[in-house]
A and B are shown apart, each in its own frame.
Chain A
Amino acid sequence: MTDQAASAATGAIESRSETLLHIEDIRKYFKVRSHAGTSRAEVKAVDGVTLDVRRGETLGLVGETGCGKSTLARCMARLYDLTSGKVVFEDHDISRTSRRGLRPVRRQMQMIFQDPYGSLNPRRRVGSIIGDPFAIHQIGDRKDRKGKVQELMQLVGLNPEHYNRFPNEFSGGQRQRIGVARALALQPRLIVCDEPVSALDVSIQAQVLNLLTDLQQEFGLTYVFITHDLSVVRHVSDRIAVMYLGKVVEVARTDDIFSTTRHPYTKALLSALPVPDPDAADSRERIVLTGDMPSPINPPPACRFHTRCPKAQEICSREEPPLVPVLGDDGSHLTACHFPLEVGETLRPGTVAQREGG
């Protein structure tokens, strides 16, 4: 992990092979039919996202509920067909590959899901769930598989003797370990974790996170780690991408995101992070954004954030800011804002964005 960060720091130029997954201008619109009938609206869940995932790193994807993180993850894993855009995995363009054609890719790219209760089939034994990848890709015979499944269970800290049990006989944390074991079975390169710990108790979150970190070191895994929990993402990520309403507004190394926050939305998001010291908590600036997140069916034009942004000016509603390095940042820190924050600048809670008398 650390040498990855170091190599990222050497500059903007990165070799192609260092990128494991590259997505370019991905869009995913969902059609919604209104109850009235004829009018056809589209939810623009992901609306033009370009990102690189580098080999061996953990890329954190943060944003509010409904900002399109999970949709983006499913687009990356090609569980969804894209509306437009490109997904390049290991230098292979898989944006239009058929389900059958994706099968070899599935061995390289796995997912861990948010809900440890929903992601395991309640009618199947744990051994059979973890062995699913072997069965689907026809690896080994029955006896081989059993051995492998038990190895995997051991690896993620489950009792291998429990392989005959059913998911309902395990606790939330144990179930998430089952999900991890299943994702690991085929020794993938990339694991997309869709809020893997947000359904767990805090004490168990740490255990699962540590497990994920250990496994990353052991197997050289690459993670895309989706969460709305900033303290979690800070703990695990090498780089962080911040999403708002289907777009990435800022990408940077984890330290940079926290030390030189550029985008006003990121700033507001980070200010919500709890501080363990009550005195510090009292004195720090907390930015409470006014208004709700606009509907992704009809997002604001140009910069999506201008309706709630304290720094918004006329240009923000007219011209969309590109995702580029701000002057003084290195090439790994990209921001999409016309008026990026200076280091140390504080945000005044919105005069522009405030709604009726608030």
Chain B
Amino acid sequence: MSMGSSDVRFDEDVAKEVEVGASPVEGRSPWLLAWQRLRHDRVAMISLGVIVLIALVAIFAPVFTHITGHPPNQQYLRQGTTSAGLPLSPNGKFWLGTDNLGRDILVRIAFGARISLAVGVVATLLTVAIGVVVGLAAGFFRGIVDTILARLVDVVLSVPFILVAVALVSIAGPGLTMTVLVIGFFSWASVARIVRGQVLSIREREYVEAARSLGASNFRIMFIDILPNVLAQVIVYTTLLIPVVIVTQATLSFLGLGLQPPTADWGGMLAESQTYYTVAWWFVAFPGIALLITTLAFNLFGDGVRDAFDPRAGR
């Protein structure tokens, strides 16, 4: 029995009491428990390591310029291309080869990681923020609010994404902000749907009723009682949304709707490599591999997060 709690009445479940008494007084939150489970998931932790590595590459991209002496947009038309003007294969000077303009692919991939991660994170956060607010409001207030928001979600989900993206970009012009806004605008609806469904069930729980019986305001119930219980789902969805957003951003760039040349960006590099991949495999392979590894790492990590939050779901 716990020694310290002498003035506490002995409670029911003896086994439980022993267990409780043995553990530290600081409570273990559901978040902490999830993290502890995640830490024992080897695949997820390796993925997390890869993600951190990619982030480091993005942050320290200038270091690559420093080491190789090649700025990302510098065209080495003489030393960087063959006598026929074709990309140079990987060699001691250009470790991952060059592109058609004689630029260093390694340095450009490093700088491209900045774009991918930044857009991936910012656009995802925007998406999630809109989705959570809309979903909370729809699920909590129900009735007319829900009807209107649910129809809005249906409309957004039924819009053909690429077509409208092309139209929007042709009106407003391409760019980083545009990319983020387009992705955010088209992705929030699915988040809102998930959140709404969760809120609908959580708002009927007794602890919400308890909060109401204490006189809590709607605002307080939404953000203090309901939101933390939706958050686990949202976090899982967010980690799985980041790779989707990264691929979408690459797609937009590939189609010429994202960032404009000469900005180093994986989707743009893949687009430029189209006409050269028969003679220069490294031109298409390395940006492609970078994209693949990044999205794979995020996906595997997202799976791990999901398992950590819901250990019963199994694999």
Cβ of A158 under 8 Å from chain B = yes
A166 and B211 within 8 A (CB) = no
* Closest A residue by C-beta to B204: A118
Partner of B28, one of A113, A169, A182: A169
Question: With A119-B206, A125-B27 as given contacts, are A174 and B213 in contact (CB-CB < 8 Å)?
Answer: no
Chain A residues near B206: list those with CB within 8 A: 113-115, 118-119
* Closest B residue by C-beta to A160: B8
A125 and B207 CA atoms in complex are apart in Å by 13
- Number of B interface residues at 8 Å Cβ cutoff, please give it: 36
Residues of chain B from 87 to 140 with CB closer than 8 A to chain A in the complex:
none
Cβ of A34 under 8 Å from chain B = no
Interface size class of A (residues with CB under 8 A): 35 or more
A132 and B211 within 8 A (CB) = yes
Question: With A103-B215, A119-B207, A174-B11 as given contacts, are A124 and B27 in contact (CB-CB < 8 Å)?
Answer: no
B11 and A171 within 8 A (CB) = yes
Residues of chain A from 110 to 154 with CB closer than 8 A to chain B in the complex:
110-111, 113-115, 118-126, 132-133, 136-137, 154
A173 and B11 CA atoms in complex are apart in Å by 8
Partner of B210, one of A103, A111, A126, A161: A111
B225 and A136 within 8 A (CB) = no
Chain A residues near B16: list those with CB within 8 A: 171
Question: A97 to nearest B CB, angstroms?
Answer: 12
Question: With A118-B207, A119-B210, A171-B12 as given contacts, are A136 and B215 in contact (CB-CB < 8 Å)?
Answer: yes
Could you give, for residues 53-91 of chain B, a 1 whenever the CB lies within 8 Å of some chain A CB and a 0 otherwise? 000000000000000000000000000000000000000
Cβ of B176 under 8 Å from chain A = no
A204 and B30 within 8 A (CB) = no
B8 and A159 within 8 A (CB) = yes
Cβ of B40 under 8 Å from chain A = no
Cβ of B154 under 8 Å from chain A = no
Question: B19 to nearest A CB, angstroms?
Answer: 9
* Beyond A122-B229, A123-B231, A171-B11, 14 extra complex contacts between A and B, CB < 8 Å: A77-B213, A106-B215, A110-B213, A121-B207, A121-B211, A136-B216, A154-B7, A165-B26, A166-B28, A171-B13, A171-B17, A174-B12, A203-B12, A207-B12
- Chosen A-B contacts, 5 in total, with CB atoms closer than 8 Å, are A115-B206, A124-B224, A136-B217, A173-B11, A179-B210
**Residues on A facing B (Cβ under 8 Å):** 77, 79, 102-103, 106-107, 110-111, 113-115, 118-126, 132-133, 136-137, 154, 157-159, 161-162, 164-166, 168-174, 179, 182, 201, 203-204, 207
Nearest first, the 3 A-B pairs at minimum CB distance are A165-B27, A106-B215, A123-B228
